[in-house]
């Protein structure tokens, strides 16, 4: 590969680029396609002036990146988090391209966000941030252009503020421009649990291929939002024992297994939807990072990126990692885990349940016809199982790791689309 490679000072973007270049080189991808696919089609940055509740004005930064539209409109979340930046959005948009491609759905990759701390904003302040972001991104988003969705710090209410803002600006309702909406407002039954359900489905498929009984398996989960919650519940329902869960308030651990339904009820009743104060029989509260290091068979990182890296990967005790977050393991961490013999199910395979669910919602919005939750889940599980087996078989055939197999299969589909569509000058 003689094309000049991009690098970035942003850890997540550098990781995304390194993974892409390594897979592209092994595939023998042509230099022109490498150059095209290592750059995003569009990077948009806007300022978001917001009147705060005390009458002052604060300016936040808002972003939206479209990595590729070769297969279809962009797809990816909008996160509200104090560390959001343009490079992070570009990295996540690139990951979304491969995730959508691997899932076999007609989307490219997009991602956006605002550099704010949603826990420090009142409901009205958050609404003003959301509406201004939507208004200023109106030229670059649309149901056949780029379709945002919830992410870290956002959920159904933000999606409704986004839609209401654009609907009033354009004098028409276009519910398909955002997914992750409440069920009563063009949302899709099953969407809330889809990502966590898909993560657990991949974990159970892994156990099936390894001839392991779920009832013998201990699981640790970092992050107890929608993804971690439903991943934990699904694993418990399959017979596994969830020994650790965590959120920003700490890690909650019990070698005997935690009462996940009780934890879910606790979070639901907590004013800030946190695990703070949770207790059950034999439960110990540990420091936040300990969820990564406890004795377990499967670790599911369901929070933020880069939590396993060159500085801590050697302390991981799990035999298998199913990546629910985007980019939770750096390349340096991956290399250490590989030497330790830890099998990793990569993020854009394991956490694709969310984007597949978003695709289902988008299809229903475009047609105006809605499915039952049973129909939704049946389709989701079938696709997740098929995708897992595709990557598993590819990895075995080529004698490569699952991450490399997933990248190669995903990149090939996008590269083929770029070749067929050509370069528009």
- Catalytic residue list: 111
- At residue 3, the pLDDT reads 61
For residue 151, being part of any structural domain is answered with yes
| Residues 214, 139 share a domain | no
- At residue 5, the pLDDT reads 82
Structural contact between residues 86 and 115, judged by C-beta atoms closer than 8 angstroms: no
Beta-carbon contacts of residue 314 (< 8 Å; ≥ 6 apart)? 336, 340
Q: Give the pLDDT mean for 199-204.
A: 98
Separation CA 284–CA 89 (nearest Å) = 36
- As given in the structure block, the two tokens for residue 244 are 């650790």
* The residue to which tokens 């379709």 are assigned: 147
The torsion region of residue 170 among left (phi > 0), alpha (psi -120 to 50) and beta comes to alpha
| Residues 252, 153 share a domain | no
Beta-carbon contacts of residue 261 (< 8 Å; ≥ 6 apart)? 233
Containing structural domain, residue 256:
193-350
**CATH code at position 86:** 3.40.50.10860
For residue 315, being part of any structural domain is answered with yes
Q: Give the pLDDT mean for 152-167.
A: 94
Range from 59-63, 96-100, 226-230, 354-358 that averages highest in pLDDT: 59-63
For residue 419, being part of any structural domain is answered with no
Q: How confident is the model at residue 12 (pLDDT cuts 50, 70, 90)?
A: confident
241-247 and 74-80: which strand pairing? Answer: unpaired
Separation CA 227–CA 361 (nearest Å) = 18
Structural contact between residues 151 and 113, judged by C-beta atoms closer than 8 angstroms: yes
Quick check: 181 pLDDT over 90? yes
| Domain-ending residue, one of 350, 380, 406 | 350
- At residue 28, the pLDDT reads 93
Please report which residue ranges of 104-190 form alpha helices under DSSP H: 123-137, 156-170
Q: 60 vs 83, 254, 339, 367, CA distance in Å? A: 12, 41, 43, 36
Separation CA 224–CA 191 (nearest Å) = 17
| Residues 110, 206 share a domain | no
pTM above 0.95, yes or no: no
């Amino acid at each position: 590969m003689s094309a000049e490679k991009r690098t970035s000072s942003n850890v997540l973007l550098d990781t995304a680029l390194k993974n892409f270049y390594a897979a592209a080189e092994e595939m023998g991808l042509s230099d022109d396609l490498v150059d095209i696919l290592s750059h995003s089609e569009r990077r948009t940055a806007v300022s978001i002036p917001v009147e705060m509740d005390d009458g002052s004005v604060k300016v936040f930064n808002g972003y939206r990146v479209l990595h590729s539209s070769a297969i279809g409109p962009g797809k990816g979340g909008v996160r509200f988090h104090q560390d959001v930046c343009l490079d992070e959005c570009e990295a996540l948009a690139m990951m979304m391209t491969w995730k959508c491609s691997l899932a076999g759905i007609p989307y490219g990759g997009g991602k956006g966000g605002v550099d704010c701390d949603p826990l420090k904003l009142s409901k009205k302040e958050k609404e003003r941030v959301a509406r201004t972001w939507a208004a200023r991104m109106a030229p670059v988003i649309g149901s056949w252009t780029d379709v945002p969705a919830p992410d870290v710090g956002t959920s159904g209410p933000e999606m409704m503020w986004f839609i209401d803002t654009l609907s009033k600006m354009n004098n028409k309702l276009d519910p398909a421009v955002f997914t992750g909406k409440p069920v009563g407002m063009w949302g899709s039954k099953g969407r809330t649990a889809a990502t966590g359900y898909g993560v657990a489905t991949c974990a159970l498929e892994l156990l099936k291929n390894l001839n392991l009984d779920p009832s013998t398996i201990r699981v640790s989960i970092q992050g107890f939002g929608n993804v971690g919650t439903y991943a934990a519940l699904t694993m418990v329902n399959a017979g596994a024992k969830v020994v650790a869960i965590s959120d920003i308030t700490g890690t909650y651990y019990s070698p005997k297994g935690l009462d996940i339904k009780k934890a879910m009820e606790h979070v639901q009743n907590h004013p800030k939807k946190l695990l703070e104060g949770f207790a059950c029989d034999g439960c110990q509260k540990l420091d936040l990072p300990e969820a990564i290091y406890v004795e377990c068979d499967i670790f599911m990182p369901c929070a933020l990126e880069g939590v396993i890296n060159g500085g801590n990967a050697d302390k991981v005790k799990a035999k298998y990692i199913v990546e629910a977050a985007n980019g939770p393991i750096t390349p340096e961490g991956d290399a250490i885990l590989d030497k330790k013999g830890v099998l990793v199910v990569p993020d854009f395979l394991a956490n694709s349940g969310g984007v597949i669910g978003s695709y289902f919602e988008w299809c229903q919005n475009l047609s105006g016809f809605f499915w039952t939750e049973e129909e939704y889940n049946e389709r989701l599980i079938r696709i997740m199982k098929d995708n897992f087996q595709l990557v598993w078989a590819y990895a075995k055939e080529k004698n490569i790791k699952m991450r490399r197999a997933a990248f190669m299969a995903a990149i090939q589909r996008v590269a083929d689309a770029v070749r067929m569509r050509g370069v528009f000058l």
